[in-house]
Amino acid sequence: MAAVISGLGVALPPSAVQDELWDGFFARHYAGRRRGLAKRIFANSGVVTRQAAVSPLVEDVSAWSTERRMRRYQTEAPPLGRAAVERALAGAGLAASELGLFAVCSCTGYATPGLDIVLARDLGMSPNVQRLFIGHMGCYAALPGLGTVSDFVVARDRPALLLCAELTSLHMQPADATVPDVEQIVSHALFSDAAAAAVLTPASRALPGYEVRDIAAVTDNTTAGHMTWEVTDLGFRMGLSAEVPAVLSLHVRGLVEDLLKRNRLSIGEVDGWALHPGGPKILDVVQERLGRDDQALAASRGVLSAYGNCSSPTVLLVLDALRRRPRPPRYVVVLAFGPGLTLYGALLEFSTVAA
């Protein structure tokens, strides 16, 4: 028994050019002595374009209360999530009513009834569909979500769907005129909005797609404060230590080697790498530790350039780019990183014939 990713769907809000975001908003947001530092960070972010459901070129949300931001989340997230889910279902050739489990990952907005309930209702899922909401796990949430959904498919022999939807644009922070606040500048330069959905089906009735072979994780509890996401009266505030790449450097090769060893593979046999593009330094460190060439990380750097860091949907965007290649890679290692400090990995294998 195995679970196969039979359909992937992506939905994006309107896009903006990074330079235009700088010139049209952030150059004023970071005035005085911080402007030069902020401009360098934006220029070196690796981001060329990114998306925002609430664009700072149209609305400055930095002074909004958390309540106002959450109400906007309830307006913007459902149609974005619905579009991604519909595309994934169409790719898998399934109706929403056939799903046995619907799991949603989101750390940028909360409401009850949430996205899982609203979309299950609006898309016509069965009243008996099981639902799971995965919140506040940050950028790596897609992988524990993928593991849980694939386990359900294998155990119950029924299709399931995972949706990752994030609206980071709602959490623009006010500029503090007294401190450089490098962490906020970095997050404002990198983060973006997106939704991505994956339909998983039993291999016995799956279309060609990626079989979920294995999931692995490691958490370095000694560095828990290096990456934070705190609820404040002015939205959710990112904490992002400059030490994050160094911590990843300590753990990423061991995680990947252990994942591959128990599946009788080596790093050299992996021909596809879907790395969460948390930023250029993170990609540089992981590339160096794994001994991969520039081509191996081309899809991850391409997603960072075109879409920015969209938090939990981002690795699914990279996987979507890999599967659309004329010759999709056979083995794909998916890696994502987030609060904890946590590293998650998944091994996928392309399957063209139903089991």
Enzyme catalytic residues: 139
Q: Which residue has the tokens 């590293």?
A: 343
The radius of gyration of the chain from alpha carbons, rounded to an integer in Å, stands at 20
Structure tokens at 33: 């002595």
Residue that the structure tokens 């995680």 belong to: 255
Q: Where are the alpha helices (DSSP H) in 97-171?
A: 115-122, 142-156
Could you give the CA distance from residue 238 to residue 83 in angstroms, rounded to a whole number? 28
Instruction: Let me know the angle formed at the C-alpha of 177 by 172 and 181, rounded to the nearest 5 degrees.
Output: 60
Beta strands 15-17 and 49-51, pairing class: antiparallel
Judge contact between 159 and 98, C-beta under 8 A. Answer: yes
Residue 332's closest CA among 151, 210, 162?
A: 210
Kindly give, in sequence order, each residue whose CB lies less than 8 Å from that of residue 300, ignoring residues fewer than 6 positions away: 273, 274, 275, 276, 277, 283, 318
Between CA 209 and CA 161 the distance in angstroms is: 14
φ, ψ (nearest 5 deg) of residue 144: -60, -30
- CA–CA dist 147, 215 (Å, integer): 6
Of 210, 243, 203, the C-alpha closest to 337 is: 243
Backbone angles phi, psi at 30, to 5 degrees: -110, 80
- What CA–CA distance (Å, rounded) separates 90 from 193? 22
**Exposure of 347 in the CB half-sphere (CA atoms within 13 A):** 21
Write the CB contacts of 285 (distance below 8 Å, at least 6 apart in sequence): 245, 246, 248, 249, 252
